[in-house]
Amino acid sequence: MRIYKAIKTSVLCAAVLLTALAAGAAGPGTSAADFLKIPVGARETALGGAFTSVPDGPGSVLYNPAGLGLAAVPGLTYSYNDYLPGISQHWLAGSLPAGGGAVGFGLDYLDVSPFASYDNFDNRTGSVSAYDMAVYLGYGRGFRTGLAFLPSLYLGASLKSLKEKLASISASGYAADAGLLLPTSVKGLGFGLAARNLAASRLSFIGSGARPASEWKAGASYSLAPSAWAVSFLASADLNLPKDGSSYFSGGLEGTFYRLVSLRAGYSSYGDISNGLSFGLGLLLPSRLGRRLRLDYSYASTYDLGNMQRFGISCAFGGRAGRKAQAPAAAPPAPEQAPAGGARPPAAAAKRSFDSALNDLYGQDPVKSLAAAEYIAGLNDPRAMQHFSALLSSGRTGWQIAALRGLELSKDPLAVNSLCRALGDQKEEIRAHAALALASHPGHTASACLQAALRGENSDMAKSAIITALGRINTPGGTDAH
């Protein structure tokens, strides 16, 4: 009987520790699996955890599973959180394109170091440890809407298996999340909506237990990457509505210099163990063999419990090794190879209207999307620019390449500006395609954009494409069309 009481006392002590510290002393409310309220990821936490509208590959499986639909290449990320004294957190996530979207997985593991346990008579009985764990499996994909301002939307869902262990007693259950992501036709502007623990089972240690608290999140983000600048920016903000507490705000700012170093700052009004401020930095390593590595760090302080630090590493597999079909060598043919007067649609497509061609343009088949972009560009319809712009801002590689092909063939004066902006894209293959497409618009504007992009370019692939494009523009006989 005494042994049972000792275990019960240890479990209650551990439960109090996890509830108070893992939830960050957030306020009133009774719920299970409070460790799910701790944001994960070094980059994400440096931006205050405001990632509902920011698709960032593998991490989307937790922040907004709809963002998985924009994962064009396989990705992997890991972060270590030196949280509070005696508490550490590990986060591992991955994503893999599949079935027109992408599958994502994640492992969130919170470990509590062993601490002393006592019986009902205050006699030391040894020590106990505790841990919390969530395993995520999610899927997201995109759909065309046909709307001008919101040309596409992304839907996603994830299921997580939960387990909490305190001493020798454990509890397990499940919960489900869902998300919506809305990239707009305004380049860089996007909105997101996520529901966490939308459906959940009870986790019980002693008694009937409790369910993880549900939470709604609404977010907006805006990224700016002018090709003529050596700096790109990201701003994000979330409004969070948890069922078991007061609503709170989170937001962050990120500046990336020469696509190499990122400086970040964020704020979250959640909890009362700190002032809510966070800071961080990132280092993007030169790509090798199709792998793009990024190192991240974030820092936040508490009033009485020391500093919280997170370290992370992310890897995206793609580029030259991972996506040969979309490498610059397979880029659209040079201007001199294109038919005079723009693209000529295939005979079977000659009678298609502009609207019907949009079905293929926003479709899942990259070959049909590319052909539709060529067809639409050949129509010289002013509506084409808004659709090419929407595809460029979608973040989906196949759609972006189709848009670049359409802009290459377009006679619209705004095409050059869109191609110049594409030189600031985060993907090296998109920057390379944009450079080669600019060669079809010889003139001062295109040349100035290419020269500015070359000064800040670190990718060998993109540098080669920019140099090639500059050579074509500067050859004798080039016209100053713009």
Comparing CA positions, the residue from 398, 469, 390 lying closest to residue 427 is 398
Cα–Cα distance, 39 to 328 (Å, whole number)? 38
Is a pLDDT exceeding 50 seen at residue 242? yes
Quote the pLDDT of residue 25. Answer: 39
3-class secondary-structure state, position 358: helix
Q: Are 186 and 393 in contact (CB under 8 A)?
A: yes
Hey, what are 308's tokens? Answer: 């919280």
Q: Which of 186 and 26 is assigned the larger pLDDT?
A: 186
Q: Is-above-0.85 flag for pTM? A: no
Cα–Cα distance, 147 to 184 (Å, whole number)? 10
Is a pLDDT exceeding 80 seen at residue 309? yes
Average pLDDT of span 93-98: 92
Beta strands in 302-396 (DSSP E): 307-317
Cα–Cα distance, 328 to 162 (Å, whole number)? 45
**CATH class (in words) of the domain with range 323-473:** mainly alpha
The domains of the chain are located at 2-321, 323-473
Q: Which of 267 and 168 is assigned the larger pLDDT?
A: 267
Count CB neighbours of 401 within 10 A.
26
Could you read off the pLDDT of 40-94 as tens digits, one per residue?
Answer: 999 999 999 999 999 888 999 999 999 998 887 789 999 999 887 788 999 999 9
Quote the pLDDT of residue 362. Answer: 83
Determine the distance from the C-alpha atom of residue 224 to the mean position of all C-alpha atoms in its chain, rounded to a whole number: 15
Confidence of residue 325 (pLDDT cuts 50, 70, 90): very low
Average pLDDT of span 390-419: 87
Cα–Cα distance, 173 to 47 (Å, whole number)? 30
Could you read off the pLDDT of 342-396 as tens digits, one per residue?
Answer: 444 443 343 447 777 888 888 878 888 888 888 888 888 888 888 888 888 777 8
Confidence of residue 294 (pLDDT cuts 50, 70, 90): very high
Could you read off the pLDDT of 181-200 as tens digits, one per residue?
Answer: 998 888 889 999 999 999 99
Mean confidence (pLDDT) of the chain? 80
Q: Are 264 and 254 in contact (CB under 8 A)?
A: yes
Could you read off the pLDDT of 104-120 as tens digits, one per residue?
Answer: 999 999 998 877 777 77
Quote the pLDDT of residue 54. Answer: 92
Average pLDDT of span 150-167: 91
Among 43-47, 158-162, 448-452, 478-482, name the one with the lowest average pLDDT: 478-482
Is a pLDDT exceeding 70 seen at residue 289? no
Quote the pLDDT of residue 482. Answer: 38
3-class secondary-structure state, position 156: strand
Cα–Cα distance, 12 to 170 (Å, whole number)? 12
Hey, what are 79's tokens? Answer: 């972060």
Quote the pLDDT of residue 146. Answer: 75
The region that residue 279 occupies, defined by phi over 0 for left and psi between -120 and 50 for alpha, beta otherwise, is beta
Quote the pLDDT of residue 323. Answer: 36
Quote the pLDDT of residue 115. Answer: 74
Which CATH code for domain 2-321? 2.40.160.60
Q: Which of 248 and 226 is assigned the larger pLDDT?
A: 248
CA 213 vs CA 30, 177, 273, 364: distances in Å: 8, 12, 20, 37
Q: Which of 277 and 396 is assigned the larger pLDDT?
A: 277
Quote the pLDDT of residue 327. Answer: 31
Residue 424 sits at φ, ψ, to 5 deg, of -100, 10
3-class secondary-structure state, position 116: strand
Q: Which of 214 and 57 is assigned the larger pLDDT?
A: 214
Cα–Cα distance, 445 to 448 (Å, whole number)? 5
Among 194-203, 244-253, 347-356, 437-446, name the one with the lowest average pLDDT: 347-356
Quote the pLDDT of residue 31. Answer: 79
Instruction: Find the helix packing angle between 366-379 and 397-409, rounded to 10°.
Output: 20
β-pairing, 261-268 with 277-284? antiparallel
Kindly compute the dihedral angle of the four CA atoms of residues 268, 220, 100, 107, in this order, to the nearest 10 degrees: 0
* DSSP run (H or E) holding 199: strand 189-200
Cα–Cα distance, 257 to 254 (Å, whole number)? 10
Average pLDDT of span 320-346: 36
